[in-house]
Amino acid sequence: MTYLVTGATGSVGRHVVDHLVRAGQRVRALTRDPGRARLPEQVEVVQGDLSRAETLVPALQGVEGVHLIDVGGSGYAPLPNGKEIVQLIAEAGVRRVTLLSGWSQGTLEPAVTASDLSWTYVQPTEFMANALVWAESVRTRAVIEEPFGATKTAMVHEADIGAVIATVLAEDGHAGHSYGLTGPELLDMPAKAATLSKAIGKEIAFVELTVDETRERYRAEGVPEEMIEFQIEVFGNVPEDAYQITPTVEQITGRPPRTFAQWAAEHAAVFSPDRGV
C-alpha cells in the first residue's frame, strides 16, 4: 500500500508520515519544495501544489489512500479548487481519503463528503503547536500576551492528530465518519502559561490584551484582516459546547491523548531564554 500525504512537512503531516512509516507502510509526501522537506529517508518526496490540482496527477499514481489538508495559500487561505482535487483523486482510483480541516469554509470538505470516496473528516480543535507563537516573547521577556485569558480550550497534540489520521488511513471502519479531536483537559491562558513555566523552569507572566490591542498586534504582524476578525470571533465568543473534551483520540489510537505538560516538556528548548535565538 502507498499513501500520499499532503501537508507532510507541516506540524501534523510530519506525524502522519512518521506513524505510517513506523507501521511499515509506503509513504509518498507532497510538498511544494522537496529541497526543504527534511522527511525520513524511506519517504518518497514528490513536488506538487494543491492550489494547482494538475500537479497532483503524477503524485496520485498507484496510491491507495490520500491524506488532505484544506489550506493552500498565504495566511491559511482555504483551497478554492476542492472539486477538481476530488475528481483527480477519484480518477486515479484512490480508495480512501482523510481530510484534516479547521474552521475554514473551504471547497474541499463539501467536495470530499459529496464524493463516492471512502472519506473520513478529521477536525481537531486548537493544535498545541499554536503555542509556538509565544516562543519569542517567552524567550526575550518571559511573557505571553493574548486576549480572552479566561477562555478554556482543549488543545490537542499534533502527534495524536497524526496517529488518528494514520490509523484511519490504514484501517477499515472509518468511512463516512467525522472525528472531532481534542486533548485531555480544558486550560485557560493562565494555566497554559503556568504549564510552560514549569517546563522551562522560569516564571512566565500572562498579560491579557484588549480586543483593540489584539487587532493592532495582528495588523503589525501583517495578518490578513479577515483572519484577525476570525481569531477574535473564535476565541472571544466560544459557544458553551465548542470545547467539550472528546474521547476520540483514545478510541481510535488505543492510547490516551497527550497532555499540554507533555507537549511543553518536549518543546521546552524552544521557549528557553538560553536558546538565544
Ligand X SMILES: NC(=O)c1ccc[n+]([C@@H]2O[C@H](COP(=O)([O-])OP(=O)(O)OC[C@H]3O[C@@H](n4cnc5c(N)ncnc54)[C@H](OP(=O)(O)O)[C@@H]3O)[C@@H](O)[C@H]2O)c1
Residues that bind ligand X (CB under 6 A): 6-13, 30-33, 49-51, 69-72, 100-102, 104, 124, 126-127, 130
- CB of residue 160 to ligand X, shortest distance in Å: 13
Q: Closer CB to ligand X, residue 70 or residue 160?
A: 70
- CB of residue 202 to ligand X, shortest distance in Å: 26
The whole-angstrom separation of Cα 75 and Cα 233 is 17
The whole-angstrom separation of Cα 264 and Cα 106 is 31
Q: Closer CB to ligand X, residue 142 or residue 234?
A: 234
Q: Closer CB to ligand X, residue 76 or residue 272?
A: 76
Q: Residue 29: count other Cβ atoms within 10 Å of its Cβ.
A: 27
- By DSSP bridging, strand 2-5 and strand 65-69 are parallel
Beta carbons within 8 Å of 13's beta carbon, 6+ residues apart = 5, 6, 7, 29, 67, 69, 162
The whole-angstrom separation of Cα 19 and Cα 69 is 17
Nearest-CA neighbor of 72 among 83, 59, 81? 81
Residue nearest to ligand X (CB): 10
The whole-angstrom separation of Cα 144 and Cα 135 is 9
The whole-angstrom separation of Cα 55 and Cα 59 is 8
Q: Closer CB to ligand X, residue 127 or residue 271?
A: 127
The whole-angstrom separation of Cα 168 and Cα 210 is 41
Cell digits of residue 275: 536558546
Q: How many residues does the chain have?
A: 277
- CB of residue 10 to ligand X, shortest distance in Å: 3
- CB of residue 210 to ligand X, shortest distance in Å: 23
Q: Closer CB to ligand X, residue 182 or residue 195?
A: 182
Q: Closer CB to ligand X, residue 11 or residue 178?
A: 11
- CB of residue 15 to ligand X, shortest distance in Å: 9
- CB of residue 141 to ligand X, shortest distance in Å: 24
